[in-house]
Amino acid sequence: MLELKNICFKRDNKQILDHISFTIDDNKLIVITGPNGGGKSTLAKIIMGIEKPDSGEIILNGENITNLSITDRAKNGIGFAFQQPVKFKGITVYDLISLSLGKKIKFSEACNYLSAVGLCPRDYMNREVNASLSGGELKRIELATVVARKSSLTIFDEPEAGIDLWSFSSLIDVFTNMKKEISGSIVIISHQERILNIADKIILISNGKIKESGSKEEILPRLLNNTKSCKFLKEDNNG
């Protein structure tokens, strides 16, 4: 279980996160949604340790991890899929999947992770994770490296961005399969109604504060019907 207590984060005189508190129970799929610039991605980075909060505490399975490094959090079972996948020079797709698993693996084993994100392993395994890959390809490889880790808590920062060539239902399958296989929690930062639709719990963050939080059944209809609060949702879905 992950618990956030009064997380605050301020930069350039702007209060990006203002006393955020919530819990993520085991084996749940949580979607954090809200307008752009509302603090969602910052919150995801704070959970992974990429950003440090100005105040507040992060408790993972009873242990205070607020001051732990990114590496230690990864070792404690937190995984993170970047919104903008990172590019390398010389490191191949196979290398990155092996690093995700923490060991050299058979080629056939690595293939499974690529197939799961809709990439033909034969075409991609030996390619460098560099700018020669398209944004959509990089995004799927990013997803594969994170799925391979089988973390007990995995955070996806806007996974739908850049996967336009891949059917959306395949992306949804990645999350539902992951939930079944690893029996861990999944946190997804998303604007997409179809991703909100698979959530156990939805948290709406706007202007650095939690505006609403509850089950999908409780929150989603309200988001979709409330023109004012869900303007961003409709814009994204129409775009």
Partner 1 sequence: MDRKLNHLEKFMLKKISDIDDFPSGAFNIRENGKGIRRNTTKNINIVSKEDKQGIDIFIKENTKNEMVHIPVILTESGFTDIVYNDFYIGKNADVTIVAGCGIHNDSCETSEHDGIHRFFLEEGAKVKYIEKHYGDGEGTGKRILNPQTIIELKDGSSLEMETVQIKGVDNAIRQTSGKLGNETNLVITEKIMTHGAQFARTEFDVVLDGKNASTHVISRAVAKDASKQEFVSKIEGNTECYGHVECDAIIMDHATVKAIPEILANNIDARLIHEATIGKIAGEQMTKLMTLGLSDKEAESEIINGFLK
Place of tokens 């994770």: 129
d(CA 217, CA 177): 21
In the complex, least distance from residue 150 CB atom to partner 1, rounded to whole angstroms: 12
Q: What is the total count of residues that contact partner 1 (CB under 8 A)?
A: 22
d(CA 237, CA 70): 33
Does 125 sit near partner 1 (CB under 8 A)? no
Does 104 sit near partner 1 (CB under 8 A)? no
CB of 98 closer than 8 Å to CB of 86? no
Does 95 sit near partner 1 (CB under 8 A)? yes
Place of tokens 């230690």: 72
Stretch touching partner 1 by CB under 8 A, among 16-24, 26-34, 84-92, 219-227:
84-92
Stretch touching partner 1 by CB under 8 A, among 13-21, 29-37, 87-95, 180-188:
87-95
- Beta strands of 12-93 (E only): which ranges? 14-24, 29-33, 55-60, 63-64, 78-81
Member of 8, 91, 105, 125 binding partner 1 (CB under 8 A): 91
Q: What is the maximum alpha-carbon separation in the chain? A: 52
Which positions lie near partner 1, rule CB under 8 A? Answer: 48, 50, 69-71, 74-75, 79-80, 82, 86, 88-92, 95, 99-100, 102, 145, 149
